[in-house]
Amino acid sequence: MSGVFAFVLGVLLLLGLDGPAAADFRLCNNTASRVGAAVGYKDADGWTTEGWWNLPSRTCETVLKGNLVARFYYVYAIDYDHGGEWMGQAFMCTRDKEFTIRGISDCLARGYDRTGFFEVDTGEQRAWTVQLTESSEQAPQRPLQSGNPLAPVPATPPAASAPVGARTTPGPSTPPGSQSR
């Protein structure tokens, strides 16, 4: 009997079911191309943008670890192989090389690029995954249930203003200084 218990405990440890559920912000590249991505968010210290995460074709990456600190996150991504981008009307600061930038105003005057991010409304979930897809696909972004990225999750309905190839639920928040349609 103790051998069975030890086996089951070993399997649970391997699966990571013994610890608390993961709570992260993840990006999935569901395209045939390599994709570069940047994220923006507002925390207790103000606005921050971070990048670049290089996502190989058909992979996912945790870009922000731990419980989400905001309801709204912002994503910009570019297709390295075929051109094109996932963008929106929330303007934030970026640069060509790896970056963490505090603040979203006066990007050009501070030596940064001004880039349009699309908004992701996480609905105050603890964890969230954004699916970047080809323009002909429409994969939803979704919360992670129980921290298990393999758990089935009901799809969210498409948003009218979602950028091509990404699903997002528009929310009432727009960063200060951004333009809305």
Which ranges in the chain belong to alpha helices (H)? 2-15
Tell me the pLDDT tens digit for each residue of 117-176. Answer: 999 999 988 899 999 998 755 444 444 343 333 333 333 322 323 344 454 332 223 333
Tell me the pLDDT tens digit for each residue of 22-35. Answer: 689 999 999 999 99
Q: What is the pLDDT of residue 37?
A: 97
Torsion of CA 136, 173, 157, 126, to 10 degrees: 100
Whether the predicted model's global pTM rises above the 0.85 cut: no
Domain ranges of the chain: 21-181
